[in-house]
Structure 1
Amino acid sequence: MKRTLTLAAFAAVAAGAHAQVIYTENFSTDVTANWNYYGSITGDTASIGDLGGTADFFFDYSTVGIPVAPNGTDTHGLKMQANVVGTGVFSGMSVVLQTQSFTGDYTLRFDAWQNIIGPLPAGGSGSTQITGAGIGGSNVSQWIGSPMSGVSVYATGDGGSASDYRMYNQTAGAIVGTYAAGSQNNSNAYYAGFQGTVPAAQTAWANGQGFLNQTGSTQVGALGMAWHRWEVAKVGSTVTWSVDGLLIATLTNATFSGNQLFFAHSDINATSSTDPFSNLSSFGLIDNVQVEAVPEPATLAVLGLAAAAALRRRKK
């Protein structure tokens, strides 16, 4: 009996070593003070209505007809927008965590929802934007039109780009990585499991705002109008990106300029939406963030040897 308990203890320790949670954030309270905001336009702040980008760290997304994220218990999250005022320039914004940094090997996971102005699948004016996240960054503006820090991953919500799935590492505008589909476009059959639909509650809300076109479903292979669980895993200098357990891309020999994580949202076209409703309906949401430390191989080896030794003693 004692040996059985010993084996159980080793198993528990090993399981803990595989999944040591070192950071969580569910945005159930206003955590604005924990993040730095960066806009690509000089003078831009997180406030709504100044120069194009916004960040709301305590946004109740049920107010716009979006259901609770699958890994959460309430409907508050981080809302990000770009080019909302209509500046008519290629622009973006990012938020960088200030209260914690991350070293070694680890995995970032979070729920993401990309909201798109309708009607879908074509999308309304200015519907093609990208939402993303990054690791190994520093306190600089993280957007694709300028040099970034760390490794970042982005996707369009509407499938409106030739490169709907993107990975970046430092160099502005240079897409990197090896894509499991052999393509970055949502039309590839590899992404066929992804498709979202405007929630009925959002259609009703939009109708109440006088906008009658918030309807339909995204193109097959696009991530918009649905909750998805994103995962960015770092092991040494290799970074992998998965969505809902499906491998999207891998980058080897990655370079990192810092130890911070960040989230970002960008408009990828040098034009603005001509529909005023886009200010209410075009955004990215982040919720239920979690970072897990990945133990060093030596740690796992020691645990494995200890468990094996205990098993041998049990058999004697």
Structure 2
Amino acid sequence: MNRLILLIFAAGCVVQSTVTAQELFRDEMTSGAGWGVNASSGDSAATFGYNYSADDIPEAPNSQGGDTATTGVKLEANITAGALDVFTLYPIGESFSGSYQLRFDAWMNYDANERINGGSAGTTEFLGGGIGYDNVAADIGIGAQILATNDGGSGSDWRAFGDGSFLDPSEMIAGSRNGFDSHYSDFLPGVAPPAGQAQAAFPAGTAGSPGFQWITFEVNTAHGRSAVFIEKPGGDRLHITTINAYGARPYTSDGNIGVVYADFFSSVTSRPDLTFGIVDNVVVNQIPEPGTAMSLTIVSCLALAWRHRRSRAAK
């Protein structure tokens, strides 16, 4: 059965489904009034309602237009202290159970000059999130979690966790956590910083990490396993891992969702104005339960149905 589940997850979408997912939660990150923050230190910042167009960052792929189309939450860590810094954002009073899906748009920025000429001494930071959050921990702990570096500056640029247990490279679809692996680098070619950031003198960003481009993180949970994908604005998708694929990484799925931003290194960037993350359009969908096999197929198909549902609503 474990092998069947893996094949279904890896296949992406193997059957047509007319099942409509129920949207349980949505937030465009324009206000922090409904959000809590647990931080490992006071050297971090979460600025809700931040107009990221001021940094020449385009509208997030799943924004729905209007006055808030280019606003989200700006995330900064290890701003001045020179110490490990991690924090988690979570929606106050929310809890999810059963089979469901978390999606959110993410942008990661950094100082390209320092990354290229300074050996990424202070630019490498992580963004991600997950499900099953306990509303308490600042760091990766309970639940199913995924993190990625902004600039490819770590030997483990893609990190997944099941209740705090760090997945081995062999448990990643690539067989590696390093962004230079072709599984990641072929999907995420290096992208140059936006022209308005005045970083045009430097080459394109690092392939295999999502710097200077929007991606959508997606964590799907069903029957004790979580299929993790990223999606590009055009709809192309990459399977990153299936947490607890073989039953060796059990995790807590019931609980809240969380968005995580972190700097796991003591170095401080010389340009904190250029080194940050943006998160927009946080959505939780319930995955229907027509039976185990079909439910697991829907886990992989749900993003396509979700995009179709959104496009119809926009017409």
TM-score range, shorter chain: 0.7 to 0.9
Which segment drifts farther, 255-264 or 282-291? Answer: 255-264
> Against the structure 1 CA distance between its residues 176 and 290, is the aligned structure 2 distance closer, same or farther, given a 3 Å change threshold?
farther
The answer on 1:68 being equivalent to 2:90 is no
The answer on 1:196 being equivalent to 2:196 is no
> Against the structure 1 CA distance between its residues 103 and 21, is the aligned structure 2 distance closer, same or farther, given a 3 Å change threshold?
same
Could you tell me how far 1:119 is from its partner in structure 2?
1.9
Look up the equivalent residue of 2:72 and give its one-letter code. G
Matched position secondary structure for 1:241: strand
Q: Counterpart of 1:82? A: 77
The answer on 1:241 being equivalent to 2:235 is no
CA RMSD of aligned residues (A): 2.2
Counterpart CA distance in 2 for 1:96 and 1:120 is: 32
Q: Counterpart of 2:21? A: 19
Counterpart CA distance in 2 for 1:124 and 1:300 is: 45
> Against the structure 1 CA distance between its residues 152 and 202, is the aligned structure 2 distance closer, same or farther, given a 3 Å change threshold?
same
Counterpart CA distance in 2 for 1:154 and 1:264 is: 8
Look up the equivalent residue of 2:193 and give its one-letter code. V
Q: Counterpart of 1:34? A: 34
- With normalisation by structure 1, the TM-score equals 0.76
Matched position secondary structure for 1:119: helix
Counterpart CA distance in 2 for 1:98 and 1:198 is: 34
Counterpart CA distance in 2 for 1:124 and 1:136 is: 32
Counterpart CA distance in 2 for 1:180 and 1:120 is: 31
> Against the structure 1 CA distance between its residues 182 and 231, is the aligned structure 2 distance closer, same or farther, given a 3 Å change threshold?
same
Counterpart CA distance in 1 for 2:22 and 2:263 is: 36
**Alignment equivalent of 1:266, drawn from 254, 262, 266:** 262
**Alignment equivalent of 1:98, drawn from 92, 95, 106:** 92
Q: Is the 8 A contact 2:115 2:121 kept in 1?
A: no
The answer on 1:118 being equivalent to 2:112 is yes
Look up the equivalent residue of 1:100 and give its one-letter code. E
Q: Is the 8 A contact 2:179 2:207 kept in 1?
A: yes
What stretches of structure 2 of length at least 5 have no aligned partner? 1-16, 232-236, 295-315
Q: Is the 8 A contact 2:121 2:267 kept in 1?
A: no
- With normalisation by structure 2, the TM-score equals 0.76
Cα displacement string for residues 110-135 of structure 1 (whole angstroms, at most 9, x for unaligned residues): 11101111227626541111001110
Q: Is the 8 A contact 1:65 1:200 kept in 2?
A: yes
Look up the equivalent residue of 2:230 and give its one-letter code. V
Q: Is the 8 A contact 1:54 1:93 kept in 2?
A: no
Could you tell me how far 1:179 is from its partner in structure 2?
0.8
Aligned residue pair count: 260
**Alignment equivalent of 1:149, drawn from 138, 142, 150:** 142
Counterpart CA distance in 2 for 1:248 and 1:227 is: 16
What stretches of structure 1 of length at least 5 have no aligned partner? 1-13, 45-51, 204-211, 302-316
Counterpart CA distance in 2 for 1:78 and 1:238 is: 29
Could you tell me how far 1:239 is from its partner in structure 2?
0.7
Matched position secondary structure for 2:204: coil
**Alignment equivalent of 1:108, drawn from 94, 102, 110:** 102
Look up the equivalent residue of 1:26 and give its one-letter code. E
Matched position secondary structure for 1:288: strand
Cα displacement string for residues 292-316 of structure 1 (whole angstroms, at most 9, x for unaligned residues): 1111134998xxxxxxxxxxxxxxx
Matched position secondary structure for 1:196: coil
Counterpart CA distance in 2 for 1:135 and 1:289 is: 12
Counterpart CA distance in 2 for 1:140 and 1:64 is: 32
The answer on 1:160 being equivalent to 2:160 is no
Counterpart CA distance in 2 for 1:214 and 1:67 is: 20
Counterpart CA distance in 1 for 2:227 and 2:138 is: 19
Could you tell me how far 1:271 is from its partner in structure 2?
2.5
Summarize the alignment of residues 151-300 of structure 1 with structure 2, pairs less than 5 Å apart: 151-171=144-164, 174-175=166-167, 178-191=171-184, 192-194=186-188, 195-203=190-198, 215-244=202-231, 245-252=237-244, 253=247, 254-256=250-252, 258-273=254-269, 275=270, 277-278=271-272, 280-298=273-291
Q: Is the 8 A contact 1:119 1:215 kept in 2?
A: yes
Q: Counterpart of 2:300? A: none
> Against the structure 1 CA distance between its residues 257 and 23, is the aligned structure 2 distance closer, same or farther, given a 3 Å change threshold?
closer
Counterpart CA distance in 1 for 2:223 and 2:110 is: 36
Counterpart CA distance in 1 for 2:260 and 2:111 is: 19
Counterpart CA distance in 2 for 1:18 and 1:120 is: 46
Could you tell me how far 1:62 is from its partner in structure 2?
0.8
